[in-house]
């Protein structure tokens, strides 16, 4: 009998996940986002966010926006806020570089921004092309003016999302949460 991880590996090339990655953190992050009244989600498809994307997409009270490029999500988040809604942008670390110019919009306008960034180029990375942007992600986000928080375990991520949502939406801050690659598990192709 094939396990879920083995089926996933066969379908999308993703290897078995470490024990901490199989925890219920995506469902708990979903609940934390909904408790923070997030009603818009923008994303470029990413295996690290797959479970969370599915949960938010299944929620009839959440508008989901599939992006062609990550910076579109920044503009949508600002527009959502101006329209009275709270938003989250999901992306991979390799997409952060695409957003640098657009990130000046929420920073200068002082509108809330909540980003969840799955990291690549770290723990057990097989693709050397992911490493340079991985190294640059946090310093780049900080240089443009975002507060960067990091989570390496499921419980830390849930706590961090709840705290970051409060920071973003209650005090108009721009927050990026970096989700460590070890939590997501090793990828192979």
In the predicted model, what is the mean pLDDT of residues 37-63?
95
- What DSSP element (H or E) covers 94? helix 93-96
pLDDT at 1: 35
Distance of alpha carbon 116 from alpha carbon 142, whole angstroms: 15
Strand ranges for the chain from DSSP E: 38-43, 63-66, 86-92, 113-118, 147-151, 174-179
Distance of alpha carbon 27 from alpha carbon 183, whole angstroms: 15
Residue 108: pLDDT band (50, 70, 90) is very high
In this structure, the strands spanning 38-43 and 63-66 are parallel
| CA contacts within 13 A on the Cβ side of 46 | 25
pLDDT tens for each residue of 134-161: 788 999 999 999 999 999 988 999 999 9
What are the sequence ranges of the domains in the chain?
4-184
pLDDT tens for each residue of 4-32: 433 333 333 343 444 444 468 999 999 99
pLDDT at 186: 64
pLDDT tens for each residue of 66-87: 999 999 999 999 999 999 999 9
Residue bearing the bigger pLDDT, 134 or 54: 54
- Whether residue 90 contacts residue 53, with contact meaning beta carbons closer than 8 Å, is answered with yes
Across the beta sheet with 174-179, what order do the strands follow? 63-66, 38-43, 86-92, 113-118, 174-179, 147-151
| CA contacts within 13 A on the Cβ side of 86 | 20
Q: How many residues does the chain have?
A: 189
Q: Which residues pair with 118 in a beta bridge?
A: 92, 179
Q: Which of 80-89, 119-128, 129-138 has the lowest mean pLDDT?
A: 119-128
CB-based burial of residue 173 (10 Å sphere; 0-12 exposed, 13-18 middle, 19+ buried)? buried
* 4-184 CATH: 3.40.50.970
In the predicted model, what is the mean pLDDT of residues 102-130?
84
* DSSP per residue, 30-81: HHHHHHTTEEEEEE---GGGHHHHHHHHH-TT-EEEE-SSTHHHHHHHHHHH
């Amino acid at each position: 009998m094939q396990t879920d991880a083995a089926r996933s590996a066969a379908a999308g090339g993703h290897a078995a996940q470490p024990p901490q990655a199989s925890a219920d953190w995506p469902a708990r992050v979903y609940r934390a986002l909904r408790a923070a009244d997030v009603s818009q989600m923008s994303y470029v498809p990413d295996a690290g966010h797959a479970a969370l994307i599915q949960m938010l997409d299944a929620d009839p009270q959440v508008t989901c926006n599939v992006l062609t490029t990550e910076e579109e999500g920044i503009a949508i988040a600002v527009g959502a806020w101006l329209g009275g809604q709270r938003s989250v942008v999901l992306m991979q670390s390799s997409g952060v570089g695409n957003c640098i110019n657009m990130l000046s919009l929420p920073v200068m306008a002082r509108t809330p921004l909540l980003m969840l960034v799955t990291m690549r180029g770290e723990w057990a990375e097989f693709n050397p092309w992911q490493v340079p942007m991985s190294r640059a992600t946090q310093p780049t986000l900080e240089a443009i003016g975002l507060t960067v928080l990091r989570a390496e375990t499921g419980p830390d991520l849930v706590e961090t999302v709840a705290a970051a949502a409060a920071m973003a939406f209650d005090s108009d801050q721009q927050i990026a949460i970096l989700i460590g690659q070890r939590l997501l598990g090793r990828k192979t192709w």
